[in-house]
């Protein structure tokens, strides 16, 4: 009996995912727990394993198309079986219940019934985004014949049926000003990751009253300690690892910086999960070093390196890309100095670190050439006032100027 495996929620309230590529073609055999499809969510590209063995009878969508959670992702049955089933097959219940999937049982329909099959044949098949587009363009979906998988009405079907004079809404919820294109210009749709970044930035900038404070620190001893540790342990020590260890004492002393605002309540985090901004070819991502306070400096360094590589390769789990309490952004890696970092949604602060450049500085009444590191701290002014922001920054600066304070 054919088994309809529906797209499960694979992390933190997922509502939809885009098919990147199918790993098992229709008509080919698949084993239980063998990866069958690669999908892209708002945060990551993940492989979804097959919940049972058999022959792939149907793909719920093609590469580049989007499926909503709960919609049919793949149908698996026996060799030679036909899907969708004939009326005779639908009337004959299976002799045994199908194998339960291994990802999200609540998102799967385990036993197809005749009334559901009939409903599927008469109900308009269209994704929520396509329904929204049709409503905006005044298109009656009941009058359309879908050209998508399983007869689903696609965005192209709606556009083809719309009044040619109608304005086509952009496939994103971000309201951008109209763009005047020259004959050499082009219109590029945002990738799923870029749409997610844009939505998060818009939400943060709209909801959070930002304040950014700037300062500098003599990084001589910090950089010397980094070189000594790299030489002794023969490892690469990312500056982010040292920054994480330097901010931990300040986060303990000022818990408002490791918190989130929920209505009229400040929710102080019970763990020190530190986000690290990673510049990837597809856009900025924040990977999370979990329980950084429980790891040694070398363990944090290895974790930062692993997470950075995973973010660039899009192989991290959703849990490794969400849930940070405080974020560090090393814009110095790209040659940056001061910045105005945007506080990630669900947090209260972010620290941006610039490149340390040598400058003449007055030290003990004498002018010395020292590496000066720019620091930019943005925070949620609803939670953190200027005085608290300066005290937090002062402790971080003290720690960076004398690494023994946080390495001990």
Rounded to whole angstroms, how far apart are CA atoms 49 and 52? 9
Exposure string over 270-300, b if 16+ CB within 10 A, otherwise e = eebbbbbbbeeeeeebbbbbbebbebebeeb
Q: Are residues 352 and 331 in contact, defined by beta-carbon separation less than 8 angstroms? A: yes
| Beta-carbon contacts of residue 222 (< 8 Å; ≥ 6 apart) | 242, 373, 400, 401, 403
∠ CA 70-75-81 to the nearest 5 degrees?
150
Catalytically annotated residues: 381
Rounded to whole angstroms, how far apart are CA atoms 95 and 226? 66
| Beta-carbon contacts of residue 210 (< 8 Å; ≥ 6 apart) | 340, 342, 343, 378, 379, 380, 381
User: How many other C-beta atoms are found inside a 10 Å radius of the C-beta of residue 92?
Assistant: 10
Rounded to whole angstroms, how far apart are CA atoms 68 and 46? 16
Residue 262 is given by DSSP the state E
Residue of 10, 1, 208, 235 whose CA lies nearest to 106: 10
């Amino acid at each position: 009996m054919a088994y309809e495996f529906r797209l499960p929620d694979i992390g933190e309230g997922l509502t939809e995912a885009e098919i990147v590529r199918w790993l098992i073609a229709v008509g080919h055999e698949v084993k239980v727990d063998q990866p069958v499809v690669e999908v892209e969510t708002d945060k990551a590209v993940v492989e979804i394993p097959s919940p049972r063995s058999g022959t792939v009878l149907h793909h719920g969508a093609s590469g580049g198309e989007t499926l909503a959670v709960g919609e049919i992702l793949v149908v698996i049955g026996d060799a030679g079986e036909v899907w969708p089933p004939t009326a005779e097959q639908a009337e004959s219940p299976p002799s045994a219940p199908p194998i339960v999937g291994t990802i999200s049982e609540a998102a799967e329909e385990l036993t197809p019934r005749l009334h559901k099959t009939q409903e599927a044949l008469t109900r308009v098949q269209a994704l929520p985004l396509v329904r929204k587009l049709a409503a905006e363009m005044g298109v009656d979906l009941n009058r359309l014949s879908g050209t998508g998988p399983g007869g689903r009405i696609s965005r192209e079907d709606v556009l083809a049926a719309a009044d040619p004079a109608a304005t086509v809404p952009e496939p994103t919820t971000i309201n951008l000003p109209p763009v005047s294109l020259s004959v050499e210009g082009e219109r590029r749709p945002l990738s799923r990751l870029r749409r997610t970044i844009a939505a998060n930035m818009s939400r943060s900038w709209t909801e959070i009253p930002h304040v950014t404070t700037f300062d500098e620190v003599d990084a001589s001893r910090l950089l010397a300690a980094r070189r000594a540790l790299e030489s002794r342990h023969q490892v690469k020590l990312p500056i982010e690892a040292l920054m994480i260890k330097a901010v931990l004492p300040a986060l303990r002393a000022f818990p408002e910086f490791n918190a989130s605002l929920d209505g009229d309540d400040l929710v102080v985090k019970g763990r020190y999960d530190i986000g690290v901004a990673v510049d990837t070819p597809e856009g900025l991502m924040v990977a999370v070093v979990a329980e950084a306070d429980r790891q040694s400096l070398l363990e944090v360094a290895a974790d930062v390196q692993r997470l950075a590589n995973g973010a660039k390769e899009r192989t991290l789990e959703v849990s490794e890309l969400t849930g940070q309490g405080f974020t560090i952004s090393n814009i110095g890696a790209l040659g940056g100095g001061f910045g105005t970092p945007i506080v990630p949604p669900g947090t209260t602060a972010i620290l941006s670190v610039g490149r340390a450049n040598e400058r003449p500085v007055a030290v003990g009444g004498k002018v010395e050439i020292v590496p000066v590191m720019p620091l930019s701290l943005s925070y949620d002014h609803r939670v953190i006032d200027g005085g608290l922001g300066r005290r937090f920054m002062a402790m971080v600066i003290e720690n960076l100027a004398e690494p023994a304070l946080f390495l001990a």
